[in-house]
Structure 1
Amino acid sequence: MFGFQWTIPYVVRRSWAWTAVAVLTILSLALASSANAQGITKDVPARVEMYPIPSFTLSDRQFLAGDDGGKPVTVVGELRVAQGSGRLPVVVLMHGSGGVGANIAAWSRTFNAMGISTFVIDGFTGRGITATSTNQALLGRLNLIMDIYHSLDVLAKHPRVDPERIALMGFSRGGQAALYASLARFHKRWNTSGLQFAAYIPFYPDCSTTYRDDTEIVARPIRIFHGGPDDYNPVRTCKAYVERLKAAGRDVELTEYPDSPHGFDLGLLGANMLALAPKAQTVRNCRIVEADGGMLMNAETQQPFTYQDACVELDPHVGGNPATAEAARQAVTDFLRALFKLS
């Protein structure tokens, strides 16, 4: 759901102009000083490689039903090969509803400086989409999981990638994809790469949907990072899901930060603010449940869920918090150092 977009060149939707321009101005001024202060530009990638990722566009119902009749599409991935020799660990990064954002660039610099390569997926441009923030019906949410699995097809063949050390990290809509990409059922049907992610790291995901067998996940750790006052994707639904996962004996942890709005890791770029996301859609008060045949139902109305339902609301908030962004950065880097056995 993350609504601000940063690309080179960047595109600003008209309905977002006043907030996006303000945020981009703050970020451009803060970028150099913040990055240097954190030491995240000490090392630069040895090279940047662009890869086409053959994928499909399906409805959520098709994905859940295992229907492979979707429309073929090619999305793109940017591999930033970290300095080092031999096969290196990789973090796959999945964007939110605003497309590939400035926070992803900050995380890429952090990981590259650690000797970890990054693979940034753009699931929108190849589908002719700029953003889905104000119209989430433009693309079924589970398509990003499809793109994530197909990214493993690309990485499995790369001579500089360690196939045993690939982690998945996503933000908002991409965080939701990063969370539910762990479902064993989805892997069995859609992941043809022969690889598994070493860990799943969702940031402020939407957890309002209950999928069938969603406590049956692959045997890999999940580390969720969320903000307490997030009114875009409330943390309460993720807490409920984490409780069910823990009851099933899964390796999952949720770290909740106070005073941290949706998109709080923009604080890595110095952004310390809270802004309205005008006309952005949020399902914060919806309960969505998978029914027979992959149909997603509104649990309140017992009718198929649509973005016209009364539970869908507008105008949530997004922002950055430098203090909690730095805390999250430290937690993630510590986790990956241990996971990837980095010195």
Structure 2
Amino acid sequence: MADRDGTDGAAGLDGLIIPPLSRRGFVMTSLMSGLTLATTRVEAQVIHTDAAGIVAGEVKIPAGDGPMPAYRAMPEGAGPFPIVLVVEEIFGVHDYIKDICRRLAKLGYCAVAPELYARQGDLSTMTDPKAIIRDVIAKTPDAQWIGDLDATAAWAASAAKGDPQRLAVMGWCRGGRDVWLYAAHRRDLRAAVAWYGPLGGERTDIQLRTAGDVAADIKAPLLALYGGADTGIPVASVEEARDRAKVAGRDVELVIYPDAPHGFHADYRPSYRREAAEDGWNRALAFLQAHGVG
């Protein structure tokens, strides 16, 4: 049975949530400024979205063990606004993720990106992607960030003029992986958009299931946007996840951009592919609208 907030609580998730969850203090108490230091990047972001006509900036979200830093952007006005939970890459809530929130706010959404790795490390100082994966990502329990996304959704509805009846999630890279898992967790999601999220990976005692493992369990329509030239995510693995979901009666729409590499939407990195990024963005927006998030 779902809890009143639309989540499954500890039941029915086949190990996705492990109560009670051991909490720790926050290492990051505020968001980083600028772009991540942990990747080679172009000189500047291709897209820069201003804050005219919207309310945008860093906020603190109650997360049970202290205030969690997050970035919130929403339209000016009374609301309520449809909510999009924005899930970061491995690099933290930096300027690219903040800009995505502002892009969504300009279109009428309350977009919130919580810093889901704030307890495990200070991503603003880290320069080695391998160290981020080893020391931060691998040590972040799925139970922790899932609970933090639930807290973010609740905060958006109560403090940011968000409409809990129009809730969606969108994530990139590791955040795309998390979109699959969150869609398997939350029954009241209207839509989910996963940008090149890994389907496989190591299973551990704090990360028990992969995104591919939960494909047949997702509870919301999911749009999967992947690159055919992504050397880390075989197209066959994505197609297998889609097929497993469809056999189970789940709604998954898969789009493969044949020549696009991993990170093709990241307009601050050499991996950016404008045509695929723009087409994927337009498809994502149409997907939200088609499923009542708009």
TM-score by length of 1: 0.64
User: Residue 156 and residue 46 in structure 1: after superposition, are their counterparts in 2 closer, same or farther (change >3 A)?
Assistant: closer
SS of 2:239 mapped into structure 1: helix
Moved over 6 A (4+): none
Offset, 1:170: 0.8
Which of 326, 329, 336 is 2:278 aligned to?
326
Residues 95 and 235 of structure 1, relative CA distance in 2, 3 Å threshold: farther
1:221 aligned residue: 221
Q: Deviations over 1:219-272 (max 9, x none)?
A: x211111111111333332221111001111111111112211111124x6x6x
SS in 2 for 1:115: coil
Structure 2 CA distance, aligned partners of 1:176 and 1:73?
A: 26
The structure having more radius of gyration, on CA atoms, is 1
Is 1:137 the counterpart of 2:134? The answer is yes
- Quickly say closer, same or farther: Cα 1:26–1:339, change in 2 above 3 A: same
**Is residue 2:233 matched to residue 1:237?**
no
Residue 50 of structure 1 pairs with residue 59 of structure 2 = yes
Q: Is the Cα contact below 8 Å between 1:53 and 1:76 reproduced in 2?
A: no
Whichever residue aligns with residue 248 of structure 1, its letter is: A
Q: Within 5 A, what are the aligned runs for 1:142-291?
A: 142=142, 143-158=144-159, 160-183=161-184, 186-187=185-186, 196-208=188-200, 214-218=215-219, 220-267=220-267, 273=270
Q: Distance in 2 between matches of 1:125 and 1:159?
A: 21
Identity across the alignment (%)? 22
* Distance of 2:154 and 2:177 partners within structure 1: 21
Q: 1:159 to 1:152 in 2, by over 3 A?
A: closer
Matching residue of 1:107: 100
5+ long unaligned stretches in structure 1: 1-5, 56-71, 188-194, 274-318
**CA displacement 1:276-323 (0-9 Å, x = unmatched):** xxxxxxxxxxxxxxxxxxxxxxxxxxxxxxxxxxxxxxxxxxx11011
SS of match in other structure, 1:182: helix
2-side partners of 1:266 and 1:110: how far apart?
14
Determine the structure 1 residue equivalent to 2:74: 81
Q: Aligned-residue CA RMSD in angstroms?
A: 2.8
Secondary structure of the residue aligned to 1:250 is coil
Number of equivalent positions:
247
Deviation at 1:144, TM superposition (A): 2.9
Q: Which amino acid aligns with 2:193?
A: I
Cα distance in 2 for partners of 1:337, 1:251 equals 15
Alpha-carbon contact 2:75-2:105 (below 8 Å) kept: yes
Query: Match for 1:198: what amino acid?
Result: R
Q: Secondary structure at the match of 1:12?
A: coil
Q: SS in structure 2 opposite 1:127? A: coil
Letter of the aligned partner of 1:196 in structure 2?
D
How far apart are 1:199 and its partner, in Å?
A: 1.1
2:83 aligned to which of 84, 90, 115: 90
Work out the CA distance in 2 between the residues paired with 1:90 and 1:43.
20
Alpha-carbon distance in 2 for matches of 1:231, 1:213: 22
Higher strand share: 1
SS of residue paired to 1:208: coil
Quickly say closer, same or farther: Cα 1:47–1:7, change in 2 above 3 A. Answer: closer
* Residues in 2 aligned to 1:341 and 1:155: alpha-carbon distance in whole angstroms: 15
Change (3 A) 1:261 1:11: closer
Residue by residue over 1:181-203, the C-alpha shift from the partner in whole angstroms, topping out at 9 and shown as x without a partner, is 112xx45xxxxxxx822211111
The answer to whether structure 1 residue 8 and structure 2 residue 33 are counterparts is: yes
Aligned to 1:337: 289
Aligned partner of 2:113 in structure 1 is: 120
Which residue type is aligned with residue 118 of structure 2?
Answer: T
Distance, in Å, in 1 between the alignment partners of 2:129 and 2:67 is: 22
Change (3 A) 1:121 1:159: closer
Give the TM-score, by structure 2 length.
0.73
Determine helix, strand or coil for the equivalent of 2:192.
strand
Report the Cα distance in structure 2 between the residues aligned to 1:238 and 1:141, rounded to whole angstroms.
23
Q: What's the CA shift for 1:26? A: 4.0
Q: Which amino acid aligns with 1:199?
A: A
Cross-structure match for 2:43: 25
Give the residue type in structure 2 aligned to 1:134.
K
2:159 aligned counterpart, secondary structure: coil
Task: List gaps (5 residues or longer) in structure 2.
Answer: 1-30, 202-208
Q: Distance in 2 between matches of 1:207 and 1:44?
A: 38
